[in-house]
């Protein structure tokens, strides 16, 4: 390869490598007498799922064809490390992939995502998983083509994990799961350092994208059929704060960066052709009155807020470094409900944080009882190496945690069933997503409150927003009938 020909600027550089890969993949598929296939496995949150769409865009571009099966020519696992079981899942999965690789000539195995940002993981892979071919982290996913090219031309394991983001390159292909809805990153990283959480270590410091860049991306997506966008960030309410990388301090804002989250939402809503806007995740400490009124006054913004509470105990919240009390959280919920009475509230709750007493846990039960969430994602606290909580005294014994977890689950299910039934008999706009998995005569969609509805209909309606009467509440979902 003539090094001088490689563009130094992005995204040209990546398009250059995509072309180089294209030739090599074409050659390999001619030798094999068939199109080569790829499979992407996603382990993490919405951010990771969106990153996977970027990986798929590049793999399509260089000539691979997607398959649902891991028995493929290129397998990539986009990993998560937020809890220990996410790590275990990957190692289990790798054993299975090793088996496939032993029977499949020229198969390429690639690992990326949050777990790869941990030095001990890289060490283990280099020592024990030698059949892995390409490894990279969260800061350089845009370089997939360059890394594949490097592997194809050397045949050696390629490992490139960066400690922090140089500059995320955005203008690259993306392949959406759904034609009519899409995630859009508005910021990367997290500066909150909740004491249990590994995300700030593996995703780096918070950094907001320029508003203009976000708006352009959304306009472009609408032109290709998108009706609903989900704005993504670990803490969207702090969008627009400019942080200095080196010490986490807030630096001077330029005029353009002076757009905060409510203003960004307003600008996004003005885009013609866009029908629905969602966002996640909101940190309760940063949720402003301005955001509440922006949501209440803007019909395009879906009336759904994911507002992770984590625990109902002020003591535990303080040890978690969440920076709000039980009372402040409840007052915030009241304010939100006053402005939008029917809004759907969802949350994340963790049990078994170090030092959690029965009394602390009862405060968590009390929050669930009082708020009435539409949905609660429940987790057992998992010790993450190098986070402050991992070194705290009084780790809670497993039997106690399991007992609390099942009591919590019972209450959560009862309360969310009660809450979701408030829509019984109402007619709601539903964005149709797909044919029902169990019954082909039914289609499945979501209301703005993120409630799933199944109703009779056909594939022509996929991607359309239609009025549906919500007839029977079946716990977490509805059976309904279209009203036109
Ligand atoms: N940025 C989001 C959360 C991202 S992680 C927020 O602040 O709400 C998603 C969820 O995983 C968290 O809300 C938390 O409930 C859970 N989680 C994070 N670290 C965990 C740990 N060490 N053990 C168990 N659950 C954890
Ligand atoms: Fe983790 Fe807290 Fe950041 Fe959410 S806000 S990603 S829980 S550190
Ligand atoms: Fe997991 Fe990374 Fe998301 S650790 S939860 S995939 S940000």
- Ligand of minimum distance to the alpha carbon of 114: 3
Taking the C-alpha atoms of residue 247 and residue 234, their distance in angstroms, rounded to an integer, is 19
Q: Are residues 380 and 350 in contact, defined by beta-carbon separation less than 8 angstroms? A: yes
Lookup: tokens for 37: 């296939």
Q: Give the ligand 2 atom nearest the CA of 191.
A: 3
- Ligand 1 probe mutation, 348, 351, 391, 405, most atoms within 8 A of CB: 348
Ligand 3 centre to CA of 245 (Å) is: 21
Which residue has the least CA distance to atom 8 on ligand 1? 308
**For 179-299, where are the E strands, in sequence order?**
181-185, 187-188, 207-208, 228-232, 276-280
For ligand 2, say whether the CB of 199 is within 6 Å of any of its atoms.
Answer: yes
From first to last of its 484 residues, the chain has per-residue pLDDT tens of 677 789 999 999 999 999 999 999 999 999 999 999 999 999 999 999 999 999 999 999 999 999 999 999 999 999 999 999 888 889 989 999 999 999 998 999 999 999 999 999 999 999 999 999 999 999 999 999 999 999 999 999 999 999 988 777 888 899 999 999 999 999 999 999 999 999 999 999 999 999 999 999 999 999 999 999 999 999 999 998 765 444 555 555 555 557 899 999 999 999 999 999 999 999 999 999 999 999 999 999 999 999 999 999 999 999 999 999 999 999 999 999 999 999 999 999 999 999 999 999 999 999 999 999 999 999 999 999 999 999 998 999 999 999 999 999 999 999 999 999 999 999 999 999 999 999 999 999 999 999 999 999 999 999 999 999 999 999 899 999 999 7
Q: Give the ligand 3 atom nearest the CA of 45.
A: 3
Total Cβ atoms within 10 A of residue 248: 12
Ligand 2 centre to CA of 210 (Å) is: 22
Ligand 3 centre to CA of 322 (Å) is: 18
Residue in 424, 430, 379, 434 with CA at minimum distance from that of residue 401: 379
Ligand 2 centre to CA of 369 (Å) is: 24
Q: Give the ligand 3 atom nearest the CA of 48.
A: 6
Residues whose CB is less than 8 angstroms from the CB of residue 429 and which lie 6 or more positions away in sequence, other chains included: 447, 448, 465, 466, 467, 468
Q: Are residues 294 and 331 in contact, defined by beta-carbon separation less than 8 angstroms? A: no
**pTM for this prediction:** 0.94
Q: How far apart are the first and last CA of the chain?
A: 61
Look up residue 141 and give its DSSP letter.
G
**For 367-418, where are the E strands, in sequence order?**
375-380
- Ligand of minimum distance to the alpha carbon of 82: 3
Ligand 3 centre to CA of 249 (Å) is: 24
Q: What is the pLDDT of residue 111?
A: 98
Place of tokens 């078994």: 352
Ligand 2 centre to CA of 308 (Å) is: 10
For ligand 2, say whether the CB of 194 is within 6 Å of any of its atoms.
Answer: yes
- Ligand 1 probe mutation, 44, 85, 308, 378, most atoms within 8 A of CB: 308
For ligand 1, say whether the CB of 308 is within 6 Å of any of its atoms.
Answer: yes
Look up residue 145 and give its DSSP letter.
H
For ligand 2, say whether the CB of 56 is within 6 Å of any of its atoms.
Answer: no
For ligand 1, say whether the CB of 197 is within 6 Å of any of its atoms.
Answer: yes
For ligand 1, say whether the CB of 202 is within 6 Å of any of its atoms.
Answer: no
- Ligand 3 probe mutation, 80, 89, 382, most atoms within 8 A of CB: 80
Place of tokens 């099942």: 406
Q: What is the pLDDT of residue 258?
A: 74
Which residues are 135's β-sheet partners? 111, 159
For ligand 2, say whether the CB of 320 is within 6 Å of any of its atoms.
Answer: no
Which residue has the least CA distance to atom 5 on ligand 2? 192
Look up residue 62 and give its DSSP letter.
T
Taking the C-alpha atoms of residue 110 and residue 74, their distance in angstroms, rounded to an integer, is 8
Which residue has the least CA distance to atom 10 on ligand 1? 348
């Amino acid at each position: 390869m003539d090094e001088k020909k490689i563009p130094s600027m992005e995204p040209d550089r990546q398009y250059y490598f995509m072309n180089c890969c294209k030739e090599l993949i074409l050659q390999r598929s001619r030798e094999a007498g068939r199109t080569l296939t790829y499979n992407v496995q996603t382990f993490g949150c919405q951010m990771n799922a969106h990153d996977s769409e970027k990986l798929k865009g590049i793999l399509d571009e260089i000539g691979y064809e997607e398959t649902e099966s891991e028995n493929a020519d290129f397998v990539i696992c986009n990993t998560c490390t937020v809890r220990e079981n996410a790590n275990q899942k990957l190692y289990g999965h790798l054993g299975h992939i090793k088996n496939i690789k032993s029977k499949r000539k020229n198969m390429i195995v690639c690992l990326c995502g949050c777990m790869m940002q941990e030095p001990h993981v890289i060490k283990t892979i280099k020592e024990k998983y030698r059949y892995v071919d390409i490894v990279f982290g969260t800061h350089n996913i845009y370089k997939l083509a360059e890394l594949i090219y490097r592997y194809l031309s050397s045949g050696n394991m390629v490992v490139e994990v960066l400690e922090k983001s140089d500059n995320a390159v955005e203008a690259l292909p993306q392949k959406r799961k759904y034609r009519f809805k899409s995630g859009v990153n508005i910021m990367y990283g997290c500066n909150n350092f909740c004491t249990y959480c590994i995300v700030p270590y593996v995703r780096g410091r918070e950094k907001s994208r320029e508003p203009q860049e976000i708006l352009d991306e959304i306009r472009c997506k609408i032109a290709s059929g998108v009706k609903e966008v989900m704005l993504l960030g670990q803490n969207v309410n702090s969008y627009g704060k400019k942080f200095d990388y080196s010490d986490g301090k807030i630096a001077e804002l330029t005029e353009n960066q002076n757009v905060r989250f409510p203003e960004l939402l307003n600008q996004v809503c003005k885009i013609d052709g866009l029908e629905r806007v969602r966002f996640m995740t909101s940190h309760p400490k940063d949720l402003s009155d301005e955001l509440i009124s922006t949501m209440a006054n803007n019909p395009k913004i879906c009336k759904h807020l994911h507002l992770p509470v984590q625990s109902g105990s002020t003591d535990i919240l303080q040890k978690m470094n969440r920076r709000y009390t039980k009372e402040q959280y409840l007052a915030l919920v009241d304010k939100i409900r006053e402005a939008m009475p029917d809004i759907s509230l969802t949350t994340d709750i963790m049990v078994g944080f170090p030092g959690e007493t029965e009394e602390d846990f009862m405060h968590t039960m009390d929050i669930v009882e009082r708020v009435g969430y539409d949905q609660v994602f429940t987790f057992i606290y998992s010790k993450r190496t190098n986070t402050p909580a991992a070194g705290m005294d009084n780790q809670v014994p497993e039997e106690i945690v399991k007992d609390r977890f099942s009591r919590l689950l019972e209450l959560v299910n009862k309360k969310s069933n009660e809450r979701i039934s408030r829509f019984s008999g109402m007619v709601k706009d539903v964005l149709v997503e797909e044919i029902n998995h169990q019954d082909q005569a039914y289609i499945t969609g979501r209301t703005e409150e993120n409630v799933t509805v199944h109703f009779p209909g056909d594939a022509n309606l996929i991607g359309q927003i239609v009025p549906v009467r919500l007839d029977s509440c079946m716990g977490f979902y509805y059976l309904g009938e279209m009203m036109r």
